[in-house]
Amino acid sequence: MTKISFIFVAIALTFSTSILCQSEATYAVSSSAPGYKVNGKTSKTKSGIQIPLILNSGDEGVDMFGKTVNELLVDVEYETEDRLHVKISDKAGKQPLVPDSPLGFERPRLSSYAKYTNYDFLYTAKPFGFKVVRKSDKIAIFDTATLPIVFEDQYLEISTKVPSDANIYGFGEVTAPFKRTTNVTTIFARDNADDMYRNIYGSHPFYTEIRDGKAHAALLMSSHGMDVVTTEGRITYKVIGGVLDFYFFVPKSGKPNDVSIAYTDLIGKPMMPSHWMLGWHHCRYGYKDIEAVETVVRRYKESNIPLETAWVDIDYMDETKDFTVDNVKFPLDRMIALGKNLHENKQKYVVMVDPAISANTSYSTYTRGVEMDVFIKNPDGTDYIGQVWPGYTTFPDWWHPNATEYWTREIVDWVALLDLDGLWIDMNEPASFCLGSCGSGKVDAGKQPYRWDLPQDVQEKNHADQEAALIAMGNPAGETRNLLYPKYAINNGAGNLSEVTVAMTAVHHGGIPHYDIHNLYGHAESYITRNAMIKHKENARPFVLTRSSFIGSGTHVGHWTGDNHSLWGYLKVSLSTVLSMQLFGITYSGADVCGFNQNTTEELCTRWQAIGSFYPFARNHNAIGQADQEPYLWESTAEASRRALGVRYALLPYIYTVFEESNRLGTGVWRSLIFEYPNQNELASNDVQILVGTDILLSPVLDEGKTTVDAQFPKGIWYDWYTYESITVKSGTQDVTLDAPLVHIPVHIRGGAIIPTKTPKYTVDETYETDYNLIIALDEKDQSTGRLYIDDGDSLKVESSSDVTFTYKNKKLTATGSFEYGSPQKISTITIIGKAAAKLSSARIGKTDLKLEQANGAAVIENASIDLTQGFTIKFK
């Protein structure tokens, strides 16, 4: 088991015990299935080979959970030197695929295929099985040979061998340690408050394995619900529909970062945030009125805790209906004035919008949707009406030809009215509080009591009535599958697949059952909402934060990890959930700081603010009915926030440069130590320390009552951010106990790095108005390198930028690269840290002497005023 705190162990063991008791059948593998054999000749294609399969003879193990498909095709495509595509599908082509569109997955259009690859594809004819072998070391990275493939219309199963105690990362979205242990990971989008090990909001059937210091990865491109069983020596997929559509990633280097590059080459590179998005955000669900929001903004300023963006949850809405305001508690003029005041102070403004639309004929957003016929349907063709915050609600069908026009108008008009800087889209799994179309025939019924507010006997009767009505409604026309109760029941935390969401028998445009595209709903909304924001401001990077996500969502939106809890175990696991999102290509991500549900404490919130200040997306947020947790409420929390955010804002140029690399290449912004040091297997389970990029190491306190941190340091020199004291590790890794009083988070700079910084101010804009500074952290050879990317910080289409590489070697600092950004930029302070820095006494650029002084064990040049318009060299003595 991964090293985790006692409280997390308690939570995890309690919960996983119940999972194991409930899911013995889930762990079972269908070894009695007949499997398949090659049927005739394999044929060459322009991209690889095609292998026809037919079911092996025998009655045993047929039609276990669905109707067995007798004839299959295996299409093997050597797409690139590091990417292999293996699709096992039904010969008749009746099994649904992920739609080939931006609302699903746009398949690559390749004009040529790889002649030379880093992998081999091998197979056996009878029974059919295949291996993907890495050429460099002949290791089979995916091997189905030991267990038969099962292919039924509502059940597919395939297994691969892995080493015992394999280093597997990914498979989500799930609240769990970063390294996957023996467990069932269910992938099926669900509105759930972050239960440990249960399926929650996103759907990402992707994993990376690090074996013997080399990484590879596999993606199952599927929008169907599934269980992924990770157990000793095996990974087994159990999928309730579709086909087995695999992509394998085998970079020649074997580096985990190169796996991320290869993966995002396929699914799309992560979005590039604007400068302001990297500032500190604050929100809560449960603001009583607009004055409460204004008070929070004011008190942040009075406490000198940086606040970049004020958020408002559904509290502002009239009866929680989208695109409306409560004219008593959040009057329109005050909402508009809030945005104006924020903008005057160089701050930003974000509100929430849900996909569910109140079914009320006095509500224009609903009537326009009815007129354009854009809502999800029942099998009989009527609008599907569930229940969300406003009462009975309809749900936009993003696949309908009119849906984009409909949603774009609503979004653009609303964003323009309030002058918003971004949107937050929630409840888009989609969530629904009743079973089936419980609002059919009840349009205009108004806001209804939520089921959890009703007596237990009433809840049970309502549920029974709703289930009976759902069954009576039947399947969509021509559908023979059991969409409501497939014979194989994935380990869905809600039980019935149609609980707390739209029913699986609901129908999307083209007659597509919700069963087949459920996991795509939030992803599709994200794409359409992003484009609506671009229509509002064509050349501003759009800000959209989503709860539900799918493969490739990170190209369009950011993500927060949902409704976590104010518990120490959730503070700890927040690091692993953000790390997992980095793997999935959603690098702009973070968790609710101080926790969403339950009441935080001063100590917990203080420690959470310290590490949460460094989440790629950093926001404090909590739930209605919970105690206030603004960081200014406790002096220790306020001080920890000022310190940590001071470091974050100083590091903004570095963080922005790391994001540019993420956007261009696909690498993570937050990285686990094992992903940077894959040969150090002792780091494999460390998900309690974080690397920001390659050069900044965070070692937070994550346990109650502790004032020290037991940290692991890889080989090299590591400098304390605050004092420049160094830790030198000559080989392997070294365990070090770090002092960490309540208001302090240990931060270290990797020796060999040059870190661009700014002087931290209250807002991001004000911070960026200061000159650049450089911290040169020398390695054991007294050398270092670094990079700085500069653009205007907001344009969707960047017209001018600078990309500067700094190198320090042989007592010379050189700057090379492109210097094309139009606005004047200067370097003011240069700080060199390391033993050799103490020997430096003077510096010169060209024929100009620079004043160099020794301070705190560092060599410092202040007021250098070096223009970043061309390359330069500084010589030191």
Residue 173 annotated in active site: no
Asked if residue 690 is part of any domain, the answer here is no
Same-domain status, 304 and 162: no
The CATH number linked to 627 is 3.20.20.80
pLDDT bin (cut points 50, 70, 90) of residue 59 is low
Residue that terminates a domain, selected from 215, 249, 267: 267
Question: Which residue range forms the structural domain that includes residue 871?
Answer: 771-876
Same-domain status, 480 and 508: yes
Asked if residue 723 is part of any domain, the answer here is no
pLDDT digits (tens, 9 = 90+) for 759-781: 999 999 999 999 999 999 999 99
Same-domain status, 290 and 263: no
Same-domain status, 351 and 250: no
Same-domain status, 13 and 90: yes
Residue 426 annotated in active site: yes
The CATH number linked to 94 is 2.60.40.1760
552 Rama sector, left if φ>0, alpha if ψ -120 to 50, beta otherwise? left
Could you say which DSSP state residue 193 is in?
A: S
Asked if residue 674 is part of any domain, the answer here is no
pLDDT bin (cut points 50, 70, 90) of residue 24 is low
Same-domain status, 376 and 342: yes
Per-residue pLDDT at 25: 62
Percentage of the chain exceeding pLDDT 90: 93
Same-domain status, 368 and 513: yes
Residue 3 exposure: Cα atoms within 13 Å on the Cβ side: 13
DSSP codes of every residue in 531-577: HHHHHHSTTB---EEESS--TTGGGT-EEE--S-BSSHHHHHHHHHH
Q: Look at residue 119 and tell me whether its pLDDT is greater than 60.
A: yes
Asked if residue 619 is part of any domain, the answer here is yes
Asked if residue 709 is part of any domain, the answer here is no
pLDDT bin (cut points 50, 70, 90) of residue 32 is confident
Separation of alpha carbons 363 and 552, rounded Å: 34
The CATH number linked to 856 is 2.60.40.1180
Separation of alpha carbons 252 and 262, rounded Å: 11
Asked if residue 746 is part of any domain, the answer here is no
Q: Look at residue 17 and tell me whether its pLDDT is greater than 80.
A: no
DSSP codes of every residue in 87-141: EEEETT--S----SSTTS------SS--SS-SEEEEEETTTTEEEEEETTTTEEE
Backbone φ and ψ for 139, nearest 5 degrees, come out as: -85, 135
474 Rama sector, left if φ>0, alpha if ψ -120 to 50, beta otherwise? left
Mapping DSSP onto H, E and C, the string for 785-803 reads EEEEEECCCCECCCCCCEE
Residue that terminates a domain, selected from 232, 267, 302: 267
Same-domain status, 289 and 195: no
pLDDT digits (tens, 9 = 90+) for 497-537: 999 999 999 999 999 999 999 999 999 999 999 999 999 99
Could you say which DSSP state residue 230 is in?
A: E
Cis amide linkage into residue 746, ω under 30° from 0: no
pLDDT bin (cut points 50, 70, 90) of residue 146 is confident
Which of the residues 258, 322, 429, 525 is marked catalytic?
429
Same-domain status, 287 and 258: no
pTM of the model: 0.95
> Which residue, among 648, 761, 741, has the nearest Cα to 698 in the 3D structure?
648
Same-domain status, 259 and 285: no
Asked if residue 478 is part of any domain, the answer here is yes
Same-domain status, 162 and 289: no
Residue 516 annotated in active site: no
> Which residue, among 15, 1, 24, 352, has the nearest Cα to 175 in the 3D structure?
15
Which of the residues 157, 326, 397, 426 is marked catalytic?
426
pLDDT digits (tens, 9 = 90+) for 539-561: 999 999 999 999 999 999 999 99
Which of the residues 209, 563, 676, 791 is marked catalytic?
563
316, 330 contact by CB (below 8 A): yes
Same-domain status, 214 and 188: yes
Asked if residue 319 is part of any domain, the answer here is yes
Question: 62 or 585: whose pLDDT is higher?
Answer: 585
863, 851 contact by CB (below 8 A): yes
Summarize the confidence of residues 729-747 as an average pLDDT.
Answer: 97
Domain count, the chain: 3
pLDDT digits (tens, 9 = 90+) for 599-611: 999 999 999 999 9
Summarize the confidence of residues 24-42 as an average pLDDT.
Answer: 84
Mean pLDDT over all residues of the chain?
95
Residue 85 exposed, middle or buried by CB count within 10 Å (0-12, 13-18, 19+): buried
